[in-house]
Amino acid sequence: MTASTAAGPGRAQRRLGPFGVPAVGLGCMNLSHAYGTPPSPEEAAGLLHAALDSGVVLFDTAALYGFGTNEELLGRVLAPHRERIVLASKCGMTGVAGRRVIDGRPETIRRTADAALARLRTEVIDLYYLHRLDRRVPVEESVGAMAELVTAGKVRALGLSEVSAATLRRAHAVHPIAALQNEYSLWTRNPERGTLAAARELGVALVAFSPLARGFLTAAPPDPAVLPPGDLRLSMPRFTAAHYPANLAIRQELAALAATAGLTLPQLALAWVLSRGEHVIALPGTRSAAHLRENLSVLGLDVPAGVLAAAGTLLGEHTVHGSRYREATLPEIDTERCGAAG
């Protein structure tokens, strides 16, 4: 795909470095990783084909997801359609001997990139993120190694994930950063503490992962009591018995607001994220073709500003119950924190 092309017919376009993409992409993590038992390879492939048919252009994966199996999945399914898509992946956090390891050393980044290219069955990755800041390695060294990948023609544009405005500025001074992928949703407002504005100032796209609050703002929110062992949400305070009932009560009010406006709750949640700036791109994930189409339908909606403002008041930094990560995980995250919400 050339830098000037990447469009779905009738889709609202936003800039992602050298690319123009629809404002809603597809996060592919849950097809292989983190949320219980993944779908079968056939089911996962079906979802990816449905995304292509629906006009999705931005597909997002990482070396970590399924410890390489997610990149392999995208390589198998999307390689024949390579010129139609913008393909994003991540380095700096991988699976080693069955464990998640953060490693931003230049030699590791180079090795991870070569493995990703092979798994993705492509000669170049359109957007390559540093998945997490390795606090043992200056970000300048990590981004310097990634810049070498651009020079070598293995990567087209660079990104960062889960970092602060200060780290973004340091990285951007080494090599232009096309995208910052941070968690952003009605119940996770950390970007409003600095990165939302910094990204706008620097011409960086803010790619909002988990814009539907890890399934909480979908039509059928998860029931923590029946989540399978290993589901990432079981370790998140907002889904614990101490906090989840209070969050569900707020969700009920949001659902009523959405219905009054003639919207589904996911449509309202995604519209709110996209309203935060023309540089914001939403990256929801799903295993359902129907939910995929519902997510994409937000691109054709015009939601009144008053409805969006009311949603942001109902659920936000000062109303959500529980932090987004447990205390043991917070040191790994470089983003600004929202008070007690982490």
Q: Please state, in angstroms and rounded to a whole number, the distance separating the CA atoms of residues 342 and 263.
A: 30
| pLDDT string in tens for the chain (342-residue length) | 444 334 333 347 999 999 999 999 999 999 999 898 899 999 999 999 999 999 999 999 999 999 999 999 999 999 999 999 999 999 999 999 889 999 999 999 999 999 999 999 999 999 999 999 999 999 999 999 999 999 999 999 999 999 999 999 999 999 999 999 999 999 999 999 999 999 999 999 999 999 999 999 999 999 999 999 989 999 999 999 999 999 999 999 999 999 999 999 999 999 999 999 999 999 999 999 999 999 999 999 999 999 999 999 999 999 999 999 998 888 889 999 986 545
| Domain-embedded: residue 1 | no
The range of the structural domain enclosing residue 270 comes to: 13-215+266-302
| Domain-embedded: residue 256 | no
Nearest to 147 by CA among 137, 138, 158, 139: 158
| Domain-embedded: residue 246 | no
Residue 283: strand pairing partners? 209
| Domain-embedded: residue 55 | yes
Structurally, the chain folds into a number of domains equal to: 1
| Domain-embedded: residue 249 | no
| Domain-embedded: residue 317 | no
Burial class of residue 245 in the structure, from the number of CB atoms within 10 Å of its CB (0-12 exposed, 13-18 middle, 19+ buried): exposed
Q: Write out the catalytic residue numbers.
A: 65
Tokens (6 digits) for 242 = 């101490």
| Domain-embedded: residue 313 | no
- Please tell me whether residue 279 adopts helix, strand or coil conformation: coil
Tell me how crowded residue 158 is: count the other CB atoms within 10 A of its CB: 23
| Domain-embedded: residue 333 | no
- Please tell me whether residue 17 adopts helix, strand or coil conformation: coil
Is the pTM value of this prediction over 0.75? yes
Q: What is the CATH number of the domain that holds 71?
A: 3.20.20.100
Type of residue at 282: A
- How many residues are recorded in the chain? 342
Tokens (6 digits) for 15 = 């800039």
